[in-house]
Amino acid sequence: LSPPVNENLMELVLMVSTLRRSSARCITAVIPYYGYCRQTKKKNKQVRTPIAAADVAKMLQVAGVDRVIAVDLHHAQIQG
């Protein structure tokens, strides 16, 4: 999700939707750069969690992505 992040994210969601409607059994999104990883953070018990990164992950999950391969993660909270 490199610049322009919003356009690339929307394109990824639309491709995932198309793959789901085409009866794909498993969808793996390969994201070389997780664009929202360094956004606004919420302090939760001394751990600052990226809010936007978590929301993007939920959006991909709802769209139908089964696995995500991300190369450039900077926070342990969003890895896994």
Stretch (H or E) spanning 33: none
Mean pLDDT of 46-54: 69
With 0-12 / 13-18 / 19 or more C-beta atoms within 10 angstroms meaning exposed / middle / buried, residue 8 is: middle
pTM of the full predicted structure? 0.70
* Per-residue model confidence (pLDDT) at position 67: 92
At 7-34, the pLDDT tens digits run 888 999 999 999 999 999 999 999 887 7
